[in-house]
Amino acid sequence: MSDLSVALGAKLTLANPILTASGTFGYGDELSDLLDLEQFGGIVTKSLSLKPREGNPPPRIVETPAGMINSIGLANLGLDRFLDEKAAFLGQLKSTVIVNVAGREQAEYIEVVRRLQSMPWIAGFEINVSCPNVKQGGIEFGVNPELLGDLVSSLRNQTDKFLMIKLSPNVNDIRPLAECAQRNGADAVSMINTLYGSAIDIHSRRPKIHTVFGGLSGPAIKPVAIAHIIKAARVIDIPIIGIGGIQDGADVVEFLLAGASAVQLGTVNFFDPTAITGILAFLRK
Ligand code: RRO
């Protein structure tokens, strides 16, 4: 069988370039009956904050043409329960595990990474500075190079593990943020998180999402992702992990041609969690 392994710099080599996108696969265990998780080059977990978060009130997901809008609001079980309830499952997987970390403020990101840093089963961290659905933290860091630079360099001081920064498409120009991540010691950037979106029910005249605005994902955003990746690849040397509406092997090749070294599958997992199988077959042809 042909070798699809890919080195993301010196610290991390994946068995193949396909990862799960954070938030679309829970912590892996929910989907382990449906498919063989070890097919993935890596598993990226749902964003984890220091304390548990309930997230936003429903409705928090709506389907749109060629995509979906979510406003989950960073619902997650918090670091203590993650360690008690999810670490054993993730720790025994042969797959590479990357933990996505979110925070309201810099100290929260640092504390989560500090407490996970010594776990041998964690290959690295994806730092979420691009959640569009929380009032505090998240995207504030992802749109402001000064705040981002401080955050990345303090995380760099905290861990030698693979450190990937997940960038937002909700900016005029992604290049200064990608450059800032690189300059402050990131090993990679991933892009894109979701685009701001909204939808209205014309019968009730009400927004279809409780918080009115949410994050748009799926094939509808693929051209936006490709454009951001082409731009970023012209100015940084660290690997780019591409995300945005990938459905099949041809989409993966398009992302690699744009400048990505690997990709993440997100929204496709909601309608075809076995898409990975066809994608790997396509890449091996
Ligand atoms: O939980 C969410 O609402 C969410 C997050 Br943390 C994110 O990074 N991106 C997104 O579309 N939704």
Q: Give me the DSSP letters along 242-276.
A: EESS--SHHHHHHHHHHT-SEEEE-THHHH-TTHH
Q: Which ligand 1 atom sits closest to the C-alpha of 60?
A: 3
Q: Which ligand 1 atom sits closest to the C-alpha of 217?
A: 11
Ligand 1 neighbourhood includes 169 CB (under 6 angstroms): no
- Ligand 1 center–CA 46 separation, angstroms: 9
DSSP-assigned letter for residue 27: T
Q: pLDDT tens string for the chain (285 positions)?
A: 689 999 999 999 999 999 999 999 889 888 788 888 999 999 999 999 999 999 999 999 999 999 999 999 999 999 999 999 999 999 999 999 999 999 999 999 999 999 999 999 999 999 999 988 887 667 888 899 999 999 999 999 999 999 999 999 999 999 999 999 999 999 999 999 999 999 999 999 999 999 999 999 999 999 999 999 999 999 999 999 999 999 999 999 999 999 999 999 999 998 898 999 999 999 999
Ligand 1 neighbourhood includes 158 CB (under 6 angstroms): no
Note the pLDDT of residue 186: 98
- Ligand 1 center–CA 3 separation, angstroms: 33
Q: Which ligand 1 atom sits closest to the C-alpha of 55?
A: 1
Domain extent for 263: 6-55+73-196+217-283
Name which residue sits closest to atom 1 of ligand 1, judged by CA. 74
Contacts of 160 (CB under 8 A, 6+ apart): 11
Contacts of 198 (CB under 8 A, 6+ apart): 69, 207, 208, 209, 212, 213, 214
3-state secondary structure 187-212: CEEEECCCEEECCEECCCCEECCCCC
The answer to whether residue 203 sits within a structural domain is: no
* Catalytic annotation, pick one of 48, 116, 131, 148: 131
Look at strands 67-70 and 214-217 and give their pairing. Answer: antiparallel
Closest CA to 262 of 7, 3, 2: 7
Ligand 1 neighbourhood includes 211 CB (under 6 angstroms): no
Residue 111 · residue 150 · CB < 8 Å: no
Ligand 1 neighbourhood includes 215 CB (under 6 angstroms): yes
Ligand 1 neighbourhood includes 17 CB (under 6 angstroms): no
The answer to whether residue 249 sits within a structural domain is: yes
Ligand 1 neighbourhood includes 182 CB (under 6 angstroms): no
The answer to whether residue 61 sits within a structural domain is: no
The answer to whether residue 91 sits within a structural domain is: yes
Ligand 1 neighbourhood includes 68 CB (under 6 angstroms): no
Neighbours of 24 (CB within 10 A): 20
Beta-bridged to residue 14, according to DSSP, are: 6
Residue 142 · residue 167 · CB < 8 Å: yes
Note the pLDDT of residue 237: 98
The answer to whether residue 68 sits within a structural domain is: no
Three-class SS state of 19: strand
Note the pLDDT of residue 25: 84
The answer to whether residue 62 sits within a structural domain is: no
Three-class SS state of 283: helix
- Tell me how far apart the alpha carbons of residues 168 and 145 are, in angstroms, rounded to a whole number: 12
The answer to whether residue 156 sits within a structural domain is: yes
Ligand 1 neighbourhood includes 72 CB (under 6 angstroms): yes
Note the pLDDT of residue 9: 97
* Complete DSSP assignment for 90-158: HHH-SSEEEEEE--SSHHHHHHHHHHHTT-TTEEEEEEE---TT-SSSTHHHHS-HHHHHHHHHHHHHH
- Ligand 1 center–CA 69 separation, angstroms: 10
Domain CATH code at residue 49: 3.20.20.70
Q: Which ligand 1 atom sits closest to the C-alpha of 75?
A: 1
The question of whether 131 is a catalytic residue gets the answer yes
- Tell me how far apart the alpha carbons of residues 271 and 265 are, in angstroms, rounded to a whole number: 12
Name which residue sits closest to atom 7 of ligand 1, judged by CA. 131
The answer to whether residue 262 sits within a structural domain is: yes
Torsion of CA 69, 60, 88, 32, to 10 degrees: -60
Q: How far is CA 87 from the centre of its chain?
A: 19
Name which residue sits closest to atom 5 of ligand 1, judged by CA. 131
Look at the chain and report how many structural domains it folds into: 1
Closest CA to 161 of 123, 107, 126, 133: 123
